[in-house]
Chain A
Amino acid sequence: MWESFRNIALIGTEKKPLEASLLPSSIQEALKDTDQTPEEHLLQAAAYLTYYQEAGALPPYEKVEDKAAIEETLAEAPELPMRVFQAIKNAGAQLSDYLLGDWLDWLISKQWKIAGSESVNLVNLTQIMRLELREKAVKVLGNKGRWMLSHHPKKELFLDFEKSDIWEEGTTAQRKNFWAELHASDPETAIQLLKNTWDAEAIITKKGFLEVMNSNLSRLDQDFLTHIYNNEFAYKAKEKKTEKECRALVAAMLLRIPESDLYKFTAQKLSTYIKTSKKSALLGLISSDNIAISVPDENHPDDFWNDESMLINYGFDHQYDIEWFNDKHQYYLSSFLEVIPLSFWAHQFTKGTAAFVDYILGKDFQMNARKKVHAMHQAALIKNVSLNHDSALAEYLINKLPADQNVSLLSYVSQDAFETYVKEKKLWTSHNILEQTPGRTWSLPFSNYVLKGLFESYGQQYHSMHYHGQALCKYLHIDSGDELRRLNEKAQSVTYYKSWEKNVFTPAKLGLTLKKAIASSNE
């Protein structure tokens, strides 16, 4: 009826006048006895018919499966953490990123869920943040929040499904992240899981998992690594570049495990190049204490120290940067220094770590590049610190190397050593240095020292102070509020107060607020 009526209206009364019989009898009745033109007649009928239609058009019906009501298993977070969340939401992306980690850990440890009304805000906030935060966010959403997440347009960014599903069905990034977490907490299970699917993985994915393993190696990885080193990644005359890279990764990891066959084999070989005599066999390199690492130069390879052996055994690329090494064989030595724990080298040198490091950084292994003298193996030692988390080596190196070459080492030294070093060298003015803080928080004296230093130098260098503010937010000691308030009061009389308040005071206070809130809830 409506369609026929509409068609007449579309083509116009001039071509086809309205036939009353098309209309329901009640409308026909209402329209009769009127003296109207065909156009008025149609318009009048349209008005009646529109309301007639609207009154009769019931809402659509569709049997939708009634799902069981979702019950929450976690208690809702009380007012205090929700107030802190409001503050974090408005703190700016970088601070939010840091603070959210602690805030989420707090809720997780207390087995709280975020208030339902804020769940969407949390998801929207973390969707642009690190995967780690997104995973944590999922944990505090509660069951209803997870139900919401399953409808969120960006749900694929969150691991809103069972862990076993992630391994089977997740994206490569999700699987790597999942596996890294599992490997850190339960390496045995992680290796077993990896073994189950290893053969079906693409070579590039395998390399990805090896990189994850390399960043957090466990002794329990040894058997698996040995197996793939001896089989899948054993040298083949025709091998893909990625296969060679995998061998290099596997070998580098095995060289970090003293119990591994490769380590033992290599250690035995390397020992032969560490001489105590005053004369070197080939290069003539002699240490001041008569102990020297003497490797053959590239023009005189031996049966171990040669390109083929290095490629087959370690996957070392014979391409090297001539800017950093004066000899290909020094590049190989550097590759060993990078991964083999310092204990091996120190053991060879009777005078211990310091003597060895001094020797390696000394004139015997220096070369000129870019009009500067540099130690060829310095980068290898720095890398060794990060791979083997060697705090003793880190602490020795920071005092040996110029400050600008040390930055990455600082996060491996002890908190005490870090604070002493920063104070001695007056490095608190560098936010890059402060961000290397190895521990979770600064000591109270160091916190107050940094605050005071920043306050006193603020007028000269407030261009980068918002970075300092972030560091304060993260690391300031929980009891440094008094000093912060004192300095803030003092700052109110200076011209740059607004800047100080925005860049230093506010973020520092926000960090303290969160720390105090967490501490008070734990009391």
Chain B
Amino acid sequence: MSFSEEQIQSIAPNASAFSAGKKLSGNSKWESFGKSDRVIWGAIRGSGKNPHLTQIDLNDIAFKCSCPSRQFPCKHAIALMLLYGSQEQNFSVQEEPEWVSAWMDSRKARQEKAAEAPKKTKAKSAAKDTVAKRLEQVQAGAAELELWLKDLVRMGLLELSFKSAKDFKKVAARMVDAKAPGLAFWVRELGQLNYKDGSVWQDESLKLISKLFLLIQAIKNYDQYDSQWQYTIRTLAGWSQSSKELLADANAEVVDDHWLVVGQLEETNDDIVTQRNWLIGKRSNRKALVLNFSTRFSSFESIILPGSYIEGQLAFFPSVQPQRAVIKTQTNAADKFDADFTFTENWLEAHHKKTELIKENPWSNDHLFILNNSKLILKNDTWFMADHDHYLMPLMKGYDIDKCLKSLAICGTASHPMAVVIRDGKAIPLGIFQNNQYTIL
């Protein structure tokens, strides 16, 4: 597996760390470096007496460095990746030094233990009690929110534009108290509409309230649904999904495949950075969303490089539309492969597919497609993603213009298959398939 500079930049904790890593990425900086089939390592001189020992797990990207840096990955790990990315041929296959094999073996042991470990979850009955207790609280919160909504439509939605941010925050806080952060999210969304923007907010607020009302009904009627729906409703209400429990769950849906990371998007909310990674399986054509979280005090749990190829198992959280997944095992960082993905022919087909998905799960969003023969175009100062039948999808507000320009520099005026996520009726282009290569935007 090789790393592109762009990929490494995407996992650097900040620009200065990348820049510092870049400066150390010449082979003359390293006292020694080498590789085995699972790991690369190197020793680099620092300010101390002993060199820093840096190692990177190639199969399940992870870093370790003996330097005292709190940044993760540190500049030495970034530098080693850059060095490997640019001079892979100079990394000779060697026997792993003890400090490398010790780390790798302990990682392997931990992974095996995690996979084999008996469930340490609470006894089923206790867990059920907990669910029931929380559900009671959530349902009470939902009832309170329903009242608020009813009041709103009785008085008229025009009232919304007179409410202050504090009013929305107050209702959202009540939902958090009711252990329903998912409902709080909808209220916050309502509060964040631009009430100065003519009639746009009127349509948007009505749509938000409609979907929220539907969700409240689903929460109220929780007992009438099957287990998958119940899981989905709990997730929508804001139950956090435990990756540990999922990995320990023998009944969890696991898909073994070669995966292409077609895109990555980071969004910050309340100091929490959510990284969304969209993957597509080579054999299964299965689409997956792997979330990664970081805060100011903790880095992302796992490293996923956009545009990279992963060979391994993904475990999917149960849902009526299982999409969110975690990487269960990563046996190898796969080499590039010729993908035979299912393409969506045009926006009309994508629209119909999306409608089917919404029919199945009315709250589903972020629908991933590989749209055949598509390109980005600029019309009247607005960027669109156009298919070959002249249907246009506007891009998500705030989409990086440099990515639009990059697509033009790669494709010119020609159309190519592009990976795209549709969110709230807007397109988020992720990358381009061209000449058996996938390029991240």
Interface status of A171 (Cβ within 8 A of chain B): no
- Knowing A10-B156, A39-B154, A44-B213, the reply to whether A64 touches B409 (Cβ < 8 A) is no
Q: How far is the CA of A39 from the CA of B153 in the complex (A)?
A: 6
Interface status of B246 (Cβ within 8 A of chain A): no
Contacts of A12 in B (CB 8 A): 153-159
Pairwise interchain contact B405-A43, C-beta atoms closer than 8 A: no
CB distance from B399 to the nearest CB of A (A): 14
Select A6's contact among B22, B26, B206, beta carbons within 8 Å. Answer: B206
**B 324-349 to A, binary, CB cutoff 8 A, 1 in contact else 0:** 00000000000000000000000110
Q: How far is the CA of A492 from the CA of B29 in the complex (A)?
A: 11
Pairwise interchain contact A120-B412, C-beta atoms closer than 8 A: no
Interface residues of B in 387-436 (CB under 8 A from A): 389-394, 401-402, 404-406, 408-414, 425
- Knowing A50-B210, A69-B414, A144-B409, the reply to whether A9 touches B390 (Cβ < 8 A) is no
Select A151's contact among B5, B202, B213, B408, beta carbons within 8 Å. Answer: B408
Pairwise interchain contact B414-A62, C-beta atoms closer than 8 A: no
Residues of B that sit less than 8 Å from A by CB? 5-6, 19, 22-23, 26, 28, 45, 47, 86, 149-151, 153-159, 202-203, 206-207, 209-211, 213-214, 347-348, 350-351, 355, 358-359, 362, 377-379, 386, 389-394, 401-402, 404-406, 408-414, 425, 439
Interface status of A264 (Cβ within 8 A of chain B): no
- Knowing A47-B214, A141-B409, the reply to whether A151 touches B157 (Cβ < 8 A) is no
Q: Which residue of B lies closest to A122 (CB)?
A: B409
Select A70's contact among B153, B214, B405, B414, beta carbons within 8 Å. Answer: B414
Q: How far is the CA of A141 from the CA of B157 in the complex (A)?
A: 53
Pairwise interchain contact B358-A54, C-beta atoms closer than 8 A: yes
Give me 26 A-to-B residue pairs in the complex whose CB atoms sit less than 8 angstroms apart, sorted by A's number.
Answer: A2-B203, A6-B203, A11-B158, A13-B153, A38-B154, A39-B153, A40-B150, A42-B153, A43-B209, A46-B206, A46-B209, A47-B213, A50-B206, A59-B393, A60-B393, A61-B390, A64-B379, A69-B412, A70-B413, A90-B19, A117-B6, A123-B405, A124-B402, A147-B412, A148-B406, A509-B26
Select B405's contact among A10, A13, A42, A151, beta carbons within 8 Å. Answer: A151
Pairwise interchain contact A144-B412, C-beta atoms closer than 8 A: yes
Pairwise interchain contact A148-B405, C-beta atoms closer than 8 A: yes
Q: How far is the CA of A58 from the CA of B393 in the complex (A)?
A: 10
Interface SS of chain B: helix
Q: Which residue of A lies closest to B347 (CB)?
A: A59
CB distance from A50 to the nearest CB of B (A): 4
Interface status of A372 (Cβ within 8 A of chain B): no
Select B412's contact among A43, A70, A488, beta carbons within 8 Å. Answer: A70
Pairwise interchain contact A58-B348, C-beta atoms closer than 8 A: yes
Residues of A that sit less than 8 Å from B by CB? 2, 6, 9-15, 37-40, 42-44, 46-47, 49-51, 54-55, 57-64, 67-70, 83, 86-87, 90, 116-117, 119-120, 123-124, 141, 143-145, 147-148, 151-153, 485, 488, 492, 498, 502, 506, 509
CB distance from A156 to the nearest CB of B (A): 15
Instruction: Count chain A CB atoms within 10 A of each CB in B153, B157, B391 and give the residue with the most.
Output: B153
A-B contact count (CB 8 A): 155
Pairwise interchain contact B213-A116, C-beta atoms closer than 8 A: no
Pairwise interchain contact A61-B402, C-beta atoms closer than 8 A: no
Pairwise interchain contact A59-B348, C-beta atoms closer than 8 A: yes
Q: How far is the CA of A51 from the CA of B360 in the complex (A)?
A: 12
Q: How far is the CA of A141 from the CA of B412 in the complex (A)?
A: 11
Contacts of A123 in B (CB 8 A): 405
Q: How far is the CA of A139 from the CA of B408 in the complex (A)?
A: 17
Pairwise interchain contact B402-A11, C-beta atoms closer than 8 A: no
Contacts of B151 in A (CB 8 A): 39
Pairwise interchain contact A62-B390, C-beta atoms closer than 8 A: yes
Select B355's contact among A15, A54, A485, A498, beta carbons within 8 Å. Answer: A54
Q: Which residue of A lies closest to B350 (CB)?
A: A59
Q: How far is the CA of A498 from the CA of B406 in the complex (A)?
A: 37
Select A51's contact among B19, B156, B358, beta carbons within 8 Å. Answer: B358
- Knowing A58-B351, A117-B439, A509-B26, the reply to whether A68 touches B413 (Cβ < 8 A) is yes
Contacts of A145 in B (CB 8 A): 409
Contacts of A67 in B (CB 8 A): 413
- Knowing A10-B156, A61-B390, the reply to whether A90 touches B413 (Cβ < 8 A) is no
- Knowing A62-B390, A64-B386, A90-B22, the reply to whether A55 touches B409 (Cβ < 8 A) is no
Contacts of A141 in B (CB 8 A): 409
Pairwise interchain contact B155-A152, C-beta atoms closer than 8 A: no
Pairwise interchain contact A10-B157, C-beta atoms closer than 8 A: yes
Contacts of A62 in B (CB 8 A): 379, 390, 392
CB distance from B202 to the nearest CB of A (A): 6
Pairwise interchain contact A60-B22, C-beta atoms closer than 8 A: no
The 8 closest A-B pairs by CB, nearest first: A12-B156, A70-B412, A119-B409, A144-B412, A148-B409, A39-B150, A148-B408, A116-B410
Select A9's contact among B156, B362, B392, beta carbons within 8 Å. Answer: B156
Q: How far is the CA of A58 from the CA of B214 in the complex (A)?
A: 23
Contacts of A87 in B (CB 8 A): 22
Instruction: Count chain B CB atoms within 10 A of each CB in A2, A14, A148, A153 and give the residue with the most.
Output: A148
